[in-house]
Amino acid sequence: MGYRTLLRDHRSVLGIAFLAMFSSSLGQSYFIGLFQSPLSAHLGLSIGQFGTAYSIVTLFAGFCMLRFGPSIDWISPRRFAVSVLGLLLIGVVLLTLSPWWWLGIVGLGIVRLCGQGMLTHLGNTLAAREFSTLRGRAIGLVNLGIPMGEALLPPLVAAALIWTSWQIFWWLLCGMLAIAWIVLLIKAPWPSAPGVKPSKQAPSGPRPFREKRFWRLLPLLMALPITMTGLFIYQTQLTASLDSSLTVYALALTGMGIAKLPGALLGGRWVDKLGPIKLARLYLLPYALAMLMAITVGGHISIWALMVGGGLAMGAQELIASGLMIKLWGAEHFGRVRSALSAAMVFSTGIAPAVLGIALSAGATFHSLLFAMLLFIIVGWLLAQGVLKEASNRTIAK
């Protein structure tokens, strides 16, 4: 069964998951970054104060993911979606209309939690849990919602801000998304609740943070988002160190977005055929080779290699991670385990820019930081080998 048959037979659940991923754009860093200046002015914050507030609410969103993310294992997906969308609407109201800066920051935190956090959690969980032999293809398809947002929304923002305010654009976008969601909520058949809420008498499922195998797998899965966050935040220092330019970097970002498409579609096909374990050992190789090229060669080609290699890996990351978690902990506990992984990534990507900034302020060169990033990837790969071997021997069905 190929992608065409998958879309024909399962378009409802795929449409719901895809729309969740696209709607998560409201809380994604790239989208909020497009409004950094007007948001700072609206809240009366300096650039530094806005950055600090953004980091704080991001860490808060990570803690909330740990608390509320596992509920998708026993709450019906329709109810989960309605709750998240309602809370997201409250966040947008506070962010765009509140006259008090602190309440606007609360709104920003809610948007981050519901957008980048809960909606991506909903989309990936549906795709991973509702499919078995076609899981890789399904996750690959729904994850195209994020690069589609990255491709469509920035030019729309640039055009819209010429003739309207940023608040009106946010509400227009919310209105268009609301129409699509209302149609799906009313007409689409939704999956039922996968389980029952655990009680004090019944076991509550795995606790990943208390398991050594989770901690050994974590560096492999966090290496890409942590290092790419550093390349995004410190793009000026990166291009200067590699003797390139911000213009080349901007063009390479487009290449990264395009590279996510084959990363997701081909990765989904390969996960279904080869399994997530084999791909987990290989998917970071293009990015690691690009990192090595940046350290040794430099120049414009290294910027392109980093972005394209990172895009290929980013396109495949979620479907590989989801396959591994289901292989190790089972589909019935996927929401709980994925919440732990999401929270860990939020924490690490929130702290990583500060660590790199301290290193740069202390006089470290960006070449040395690139070498440290490459070393991090290698160490993460080595630490995960024992867990990957264990996963290959398990009999949990895909």
The dihedral of CA 163, 169, 171, 177: what is its sign?
positive
Total structural domains within the chain: 2
Same domain flag for 160 and 270: no
User: How many Cβ atoms sit within 10 Å of the Cβ of residue 314?
Assistant: 23
Same domain flag for 252 and 329: yes
Same domain flag for 239 and 164: no
Same domain flag for 253 and 316: yes
Same domain flag for 357 and 223: yes
Same domain flag for 189 and 214: no
Q: Among the listed ranges 209-213, 294-298, 381-385, which one has the minimum average pLDDT value?
A: 209-213
Q: Is residue 20 part of a domain?
A: yes
pLDDT higher than threshold 90 for residue 341 = no
Percent of the chain with pLDDT over 90: 37
- Specify the CATH number for the domain of residue 374: 1.20.1250.20
Same domain flag for 185 and 264: no
Q: Is residue 252 part of a domain?
A: yes
Q: Is residue 160 part of a domain?
A: yes
Q: Is residue 325 part of a domain?
A: yes
Cβ-based burial of 186 (10 A; exposed 0-12, middle 13-18, buried ≥19): exposed
Q: Which position has the token pair 């655990």? A: 198
The H helix count followed by the E strand count for the chain is: 19, 0
| Residue finishing a domain among 196, 218, 252 | 196
Structural domain for 46, as ranges? 1-196
Q: Is residue 398 part of a domain?
A: no
pLDDT of residue 85: 96
pLDDT of residue 198: 59
pLDDT digits (tens, 9 = 90+) for 179-221: 999 999 999 888 887 666 655 555 566 788 889 999 999 999 9
Rounded average pLDDT over 303-308: 94
Q: Report how far residue 216's alpha carbon sits from residue 289's, in angstroms, rounded to the nearest whole number.
A: 23
How wide is the angle at C-alpha 114 spanned by C-alphas 109 and 118, nearest 5°?
130
State the maximum Cα–Cα separation within the chain, in Å, rounded to a whole number.
Answer: 62
| Residue finishing a domain among 147, 173, 196 | 196
| Residue finishing a domain among 141, 169, 196 | 196
Q: Report how far residue 81's alpha carbon sits from residue 181's, in angstroms, rounded to the nearest whole number.
A: 9
Same domain flag for 243 and 328: yes
Q: Is residue 12 part of a domain?
A: yes
Q: Is residue 203 part of a domain?
A: no
The dihedral of CA 380, 386, 392, 398: what is its sign?
negative
Q: Is residue 204 part of a domain?
A: no
Same domain flag for 137 and 259: no
Determine contact, residues 161/41, Cβ cutoff 8 Å: no
pLDDT digits (tens, 9 = 90+) for 322-336: 888 888 888 777 888
pLDDT digits (tens, 9 = 90+) for 243-284: 998 888 888 888 888 888 888 888 888 888 888 898 999 999
Same domain flag for 190 and 256: no
Same domain flag for 140 and 252: no
Q: Report how far residue 265's alpha carbon sits from residue 139's, in angstroms, rounded to the nearest whole number.
A: 9
Same domain flag for 51 and 167: yes
